[in-house]
Amino acid sequence: GTSVVVYMVPQYSSIHIAAVVVSMFSTIICGFLFLLVVKRLPEHVQVDDPAVVKRLAKKLERQQIPLRSDYGYKVSLFSHLHQYSRKAPLTQLLSIPSTVIHPSIVRLGLQYSQGIVAGSNARSVALLHAFKQVIRDYTTPPNEELSRDLVNKLKPYISFLNQCRPLSASMGNAIKYIKKEISNIPSQCKEEEAKTKLLTCIDRYIEEKIVLAAKAISKYAIEKISDGDVILVYGYSSLVNNILCEAFEKSRKFRVIVVDSRPRLEGREALRRLVQRGISCTYVLISALSYILPEVSKVFLGAHALLANGYVMSRVGTSQIALVARTYNVPVLVCCETYKFCERVQTDSFVSNELDDPDDLMVTRKGKTQLENWQDVSSLGLLNLVYDVTPPDFVDLVITDLGMIPCTSVPVVLRVKNLDQ
Amino acid sequence: MELQAVLMAAGGGSRMMDLTYNTPKPLLPVGNKPLIWYPLNLLERVGFEEVIVITTKEVQKMISTDPKVKLDVKMKLDLVCIQEDADMGTADALRHIQQKVKTDVLVVSCDLITDAALHEVVDLFRAHNATLSMLMSKAHEFTETVPGQKGKKKTGEQRDFVGVDGTGKRLLFMANEADLDEGVVIRKSIMRKHPRMHIKTGLVDAHLYCLKKSVVDFLADNKSISSIRGELVPYLVRKQFSKSTNSPKVIDETHQNLKKNDSNISSRDEELLHLTQERSCWNDHRGDMSDAYHGGRLRCYVHIMDEGICYRVNTLAAYIEANRLAPKLFDEPAVHPSAVVSERCLIGADSIIGASCQISDKTSIKRSTIGVSTTVREKVKVTNSIIMHGVTIEEGCNIQGSVICSNAVIGRGADIKYCLVGSAQRIEPDGEHTTASPHLMSKACSA
């Protein structure tokens, strides 16, 4: 804001008028800048606003992407989010030899919506792989520049993937990077050269931000694992699994407790991979957490994204684990690559989240499905949340490829990253 | 381009010779449209813009010259002719067009009438990066009496044994009763990987296959395989579990040989795919220590339809059933606007009258299909029958449960029950014919 200092002058002078005019202009300009800086709410958290939904439908129609309709009764607290059914894929509204959308993007969208590619690292790598195919098959139309046309080509694909499954923070950062790289292609560059350059950029991004970052994080994390440790992990995090396998190879003696939760039961896959290496593991469900925690010496958690105010966004249940661990004074270490750092600020799990298919909560045992007709019961709503946020006071350390930092240093890292770019 | 459609229309219709000895199978009228229209309509509805049609010279000539055969499709049809007497199987035909095949193919048979959601089959093909994806349906009992058949249908049809896994999507085992000597033999390695297998016998194979391009290239190298359904599909299903599958196997090797200059690109992409699978927490099975898909590179999937129409018109019974149900698949009016129908005739709700027909007074037509340019004179009763094109039915006839082929003439007052009258035959007036042998109808009267 501006402060207007009024000088008491005995008569109106030009200085007085000039000061007032300048202060008025600066207020207007500051107000304008303020509006620019405050971003509008993204449309995927405004599903209960019909104007926003109409705008989205119009945009999709322009891009020739079908609109996926919401499914089932939504719990009122989360009615501002999308809820899709896995049994109604987006492909039933598309033509079969897909001409509008590149085939590898259609395949990717299917794999996202069916959960075949799950986990933020896997999703980002698959996305970049599909983009490589798109770039390889791309030809610049006449009178167009590659740097602008390719970005416009990618926009409907991104909308399509968003409809199949909401984009993750890591995917968003990867897309931003690619768009920047494409726009930076000089206009006199030949098409073949430009394409090879883009493909190598993508390869380098994956190599640096995902593969090498995992190696660096393992190196730091292994310093924190000592012999005789009992490590608790939650669900499946590719990074944490990587760390534990490498620590085991470096002959650290530890055992692992895998905590799992319904409906995804991803811990079973984590358990399988750890046991395959020969690590001794225990498996519990999250309801047994306070029973098992007295045995635990450290908790390693993976993250889906790290928000700008230090909150950790991860699979639903993580904040529970962090809370109970804090109660038992067990150190909580979060492992996260820097490309998952996000500029969003969130303090609760309600505003921005993802609602998965509510039918996943139905279980069939001995041929009987208990909740089969849940839609008929008017007072019953099924909620299948995917993410939750953990406050930084429950997290003791964040291990990133830049080193081991406290949770509150995340904005510093973001600022350094922006300066680099 | 993602998928190319290939329509196999060169089959002879060997199991319904009574109908096909004069009209080739792809052009048999079902609901007054040629049989080949149904799969073409299915492909068009789904969004295909061009189709490669493999057919015989005779059919190609009839399509281009005969005005009664109007295909009414907006897609571009690329007709490839093969010799009728070359005795080519479906796989041989695919090998014949190998040069035209540039991407993965969707092979459809010309006798398929279905309203299946094709995206289910293709989604399995895309999502799991499958080598083969096919469509099957629960078989429905044919309820109509077939002319010329006394008593129940003899179970001379060999059964197909189809084994699927717990989800009902992955194809584990496929064999025909004719190929099995004493019993169903399942390898222990398959049981170890998939302890729960459901074996089904009452399924109809729709002959709709999504095949990877490398399979077509593989066919070009292996000339011993001549039928897709009989040899290629069981081979691929068996190859899923063969020991050499984990290392680069026959199909991939052929594929790599053909794309030597692109090898560095595909290997880098393979690495990325491998990285994705490694980082993803999805597994298609649980309970053992192996990775997703048990590390196998070749996968076969099947989509089994529970409800909906799916018929393969390759026997007389299927042809009659299809005629009964085909009208549900399209929205045209039952009585063609150009037919001349007099006012005092009774046309049932589920009958179809073709173009340029002449139906005279006091006729009663129930549950029947009347073809194009057919003349029906007074006081005729037609029930439960199929009358093809250009037939003349004189006064006072009574036709029940029969099939009258094109250009036949039924003399005055004839009484025909459950018979099949061949093409261009004449039935004497006042004749009475019941479920006699159909040969009497088609051949004896030809003199």
| Distance separating alpha carbons of residues B409 and B210, to the nearest angstrom | 45
Is a pLDDT exceeding 60 seen at residue A317? yes
With b meaning 16 or more CB within 10 Å and e meaning fewer, what string describes B344-368?
Answer: ebebeeebbbbbbbebbeebbbbbb
Tokens of B408: 């036949």
Q: Which residues contact A162 (CB under 8 A, 6 or more apart)?
A: A44
What DSSP letter does each residue of A140-172 carry, written as one string? PPTT--HHHHHHHHHHHHHHHHHHHSPPPHHHH
Which chain A residues touch B if contact means CB-CB below 8 Å? Answer: 89, 91-92, 94-99, 103, 106-107, 110-111, 114-119, 121-122, 125-126, 128-129, 132-133, 136, 203, 206, 210-211, 236, 238, 266, 268-270, 272, 275-276
Is a pLDDT exceeding 90 seen at residue A296? yes
Closest C-alpha among A77, A78, A89, A142 to residue A115 = A89
Closest chain A residue to the Cα of B289, Cα to Cα: A272
- Give the mean pLDDT of A14-35: 70
B88 vs A404, B35, B232, CA distance in Å? 69, 21, 14
The answer to whether A272 contacts B283, with C-beta atoms less than 8 Å apart, is yes
Of B47, B126, B283, the CB nearest to A95: B47
Over residues A6-15, the pLDDT tens digits come to 455 556 667 7
Q: Which of B101, B125, B282, B291 to mutate to test the interface with A (most CBs of A within 10 A)?
A: B282
Q: Is B375 exposed, middle or buried (0-12, 13-18, 19+ CB in 10 A)?
A: middle
Closest C-alpha among B383, B399, B394 to residue B426 = B394
The answer to whether A132 contacts B269, with C-beta atoms less than 8 Å apart, is yes
CA atoms within 13 A on the CB side of B335: 15
Predicted confidence band of residue A123 (pLDDT cuts 50, 70, 90): very high
Rg (CA), chain B: 25
Is a pLDDT exceeding 60 seen at residue A144? yes
Over residues A254-272, the pLDDT tens digits come to 999 999 999 999 999 999 9
3-state secondary structure of B46: helix
Task: Kindly state the DSSP code that residue A232 receives in the 8-state scheme.
Answer: E
CA atoms within 13 A on the CB side of A196: 4
| Distance separating alpha carbons of residues B438 and B132, to the nearest angstrom | 41
Q: Give the number of residues written for chain A.
A: 421
Closest chain B residue to the Cα of A116, Cα to Cα: B282
What DSSP letter does each residue of A342-360 carry, written as one string? -----SSSSSS--B--GGG
Higher pLDDT, A35 or B216: B216
Answer yes or no: are the C-beta atoms of B131 and B215 closer than 8 Å.
yes
Q: Is A414 exposed, middle or buried (0-12, 13-18, 19+ CB in 10 A)?
A: middle
Number of neighbouring beta carbons within 10 Å of residue B432:
11
Q: How far is B123 from chain A (nearest CA, A)?
A: 7
Answer yes or no: are the C-beta atoms of B246 and B296 closer than 8 Å.
yes
- Give the mean pLDDT of A58-70: 91
pLDDT score for B158: 74
Predicted confidence band of residue A325 (pLDDT cuts 50, 70, 90): very high
Q: Give the number of residues written for chain B.
A: 447
Q: Is B102 exposed, middle or buried (0-12, 13-18, 19+ CB in 10 A)?
A: exposed
What DSSP letter does each residue of A266-308 carry, written as one string? THHHHHHHHHHHT--EEEEEGGGHHHHGGG-SEEEEE-SEE-T
Closest C-alpha among B111, B103, B25 to residue B62 = B25
| Distance separating alpha carbons of residues B120 and B250, to the nearest angstrom | 28
Closest C-alpha among A362, A311, A372, A315 to residue A341 = A311
Q: In tens digits, what is the pLDDT along chain B, a chain of 447 residues?
A: 789 999 998 877 777 777 777 788 888 888 888 888 899 989 998 989 989 999 888 888 887 777 666 667 788 888 888 887 767 888 888 998 999 999 999 999 998 999 889 999 999 999 999 999 999 998 877 777 777 665 555 455 678 899 999 888 999 999 888 888 888 888 898 999 999 999 999 898 999 999 999 999 999 998 888 889 889 999 999 999 887 654 444 555 544 444 443 455 577 888 899 899 889 999 988 888 888 888 888 999 999 998 888 888 888 888 888 888 877 777 677 777 788 888 788 888 778 888 888 888 888 888 888 888 888 888 888 888 888 888 888 888 888 888 888 888 888 888 888 888 888 888 888 877 776 544 445 443 333
Residue B200 pairs in a beta bridge with B162
Chain A hits for B279, Cβ within 8 Å: 119, 121-122, 125, 238
**What integer best gives the mean pLDDT of chain A?**
90
| Distance separating alpha carbons of residues A242 and A257, to the nearest angstrom | 15
Instruction: Tell me, rounded to whole angstroms, the distance of Cα B109 from its chain centroid.
Output: 4
Number of neighbouring beta carbons within 10 Å of residue B64:
9
Long-range contacts at B95-101 (CB < 8 A, ≥ 24 apart):
B95/B216, B95/B219, B95/B220, B95/B223, B96/B54, B97/B6, B97/B52, B97/B54, B98/B216, B98/B217, B98/B219, B98/B220, B100/B4, B100/B52, B101/B4, B101/B6, B101/B213, B101/B216
| Distance separating alpha carbons of residues B442 and B16, to the nearest angstrom | 13
pLDDT score for A356: 93
According to DSSP, the β-strands at A312-315 and A387-390 are antiparallel
Q: Which residues contact B162 (CB under 8 A, 6 or more apart)?
A: B136, B171, B173, B174, B199, B200, B201, B203, B302
Chain A hits for B3, Cβ within 8 Å: 96-97
Chain B hits for A238, Cβ within 8 Å: 278-281
With b meaning 16 or more CB within 10 Å and e meaning fewer, what string describes A260-274?
Answer: bbeebebbbbbbbbb
Number of neighbouring beta carbons within 10 Å of residue B234:
15
3-state secondary structure B403-433: EECCCCEECCCCEEECCEECCCCEECCCCEE
Q: Is there a cis peptide before residue A103, judged by omega within 30 degrees of 0?
A: no
Answer yes or no: are the C-beta atoms of B224 and B92 closer than 8 Å.
no
Is a pLDDT exceeding 70 seen at residue A389? yes
**Maximum Cα–Cα distance across chain A:** 94
What DSSP letter does each residue of A36-56 carry, written as one string? HHSPPPPGGG-TT-HHHHHHH
End-to-end CA distance of chain B: 55
B341 vs B130, B337, B379, B407, CA distance in Å? 53, 10, 13, 20
Rg (CA), chain A: 25
Closest C-alpha among B234, B218, B212 to residue B124 = B212
Task: Kindly state the DSSP code that residue B100 receives in the 8-state scheme.
Answer: G
Closest chain A residue to the Cα of B51, Cα to Cα: A97
pLDDT score for A1: 38
Residue B121 belongs to what H/E stretch? helix B118-127
pLDDT score for B404: 86
Answer yes or no: are the C-beta atoms of A391 and A320 closer than 8 Å.
no
The answer to whether A114 contacts B127, with C-beta atoms less than 8 Å apart, is yes
B198 vs B136, B162, B165, B169, B183, CA distance in Å? 15, 8, 6, 11, 16
Is a pLDDT exceeding 90 seen at residue A392? yes
- Tell me if chain A has a CB within 8 Å of the CB of B199: no
Query: Which residue's entry shows tokens 């998952």?
Result: A340
Q: Which residues contact B222 (CB under 8 A, 6 or more apart)?
A: none
Q: How many CB pairs lie under 8 A apart between chains A and B?
A: 103
| Distance separating alpha carbons of residues A127 and A118, to the nearest angstrom | 12
Q: Which of A106, A116, A217, A279 to mutate to test the interface with B (most CBs of B within 10 A)?
A: A116
Answer yes or no: are the C-beta atoms of A382 and A374 closer than 8 Å.
yes
Number of neighbouring beta carbons within 10 Å of residue B63:
20
Closest chain A residue to the Cα of B285, Cα to Cα: A269
3-state secondary structure of A28: helix
Chain B hits for A203, Cβ within 8 Å: 268
For B138, list phi and psi in degrees, rounded to 5.
Answer: -70, 130
The angle subtended at Cα A105 by Cα A69 and Cα A200, nearest 5°, is 145
Of A107, A122, A266, the CB nearest to B279: A122
Q: What dihedral do alpha carbons A41, A43, A44, A47 form, nearest 10°?
A: 110
- Tell me if chain A has a CB within 8 Å of the CB of B117: yes
pLDDT score for A266: 94
Task: Kindly state the DSSP code that residue A254 receives in the 8-state scheme.
Answer: E
Predicted confidence band of residue A96 (pLDDT cuts 50, 70, 90): confident
pLDDT score for A355: 94
The answer to whether B119 contacts A115, with C-beta atoms less than 8 Å apart, is no
The answer to whether B272 contacts A129, with C-beta atoms less than 8 Å apart, is yes
pLDDT score for B355: 81
Q: Which of B2, B104, B303 to mutate to test the interface with A (most CBs of A within 10 A)?
A: B2
